[in-house]
Amino acid sequence: TPEQVRAAARAFRVYVSAGPRDADGDYVVDHSVLTFLLDPDGIFRDCYGSARTAEEVARSVRGHMDSYEPLPPEGG
């Protein structure tokens, strides 16, 4: 929902703003240009901006994959 999108933007502290609609009802969305890495448990692990090279991102992702340990089961 739109509220869920706003909540996610707030949670990740990203900028997002829809521009005015044109005659066809289309609009441009101005936003932060970031890629977030979340682990399988949904925990934030890293953030990549446009200054990071593909090799740096790949090395970071691989490092997080190699060191990942699942959360223990709830109540366990």
Number of structural domains (the chain) is: 1
Q: 17 and 6 in contact (C-beta within 8 Å)?
A: no
Segment 14-33 mean pLDDT: 93
Q: What is the CATH number of the domain that holds 54?
A: 3.40.30.10
Domain that holds residue 63: 2-67
17 inside domain: yes
12 inside domain: yes
50 inside domain: yes
In this predicted model, what pLDDT tens digit does every residue of 38-62 receive, in sequence order? 999 999 999 999 999 999 999 999 9
Segment 18-35 mean pLDDT: 94
d(CA 59, CA 54) in angstroms, rounded, equals 9
pLDDT band at 75 (very low <50, low <70, confident <90, very high): confident
d(CA 38, CA 33) in angstroms, rounded, equals 16
Radius of gyration (Cα) for the chain, nearest Å?
17
Q: What's the pTM? A: 0.72
**Per-residue confidence (pLDDT) for residue 76, from 0 to 100:** 60
**Helix, strand, coil fractions of the chain, as percent rounded to 5:** 35, 20, 45
30 inside domain: yes
34 inside domain: yes
| 64 has binding-site annotation | no
16 inside domain: yes
d(CA 8, CA 63) in angstroms, rounded, equals 26
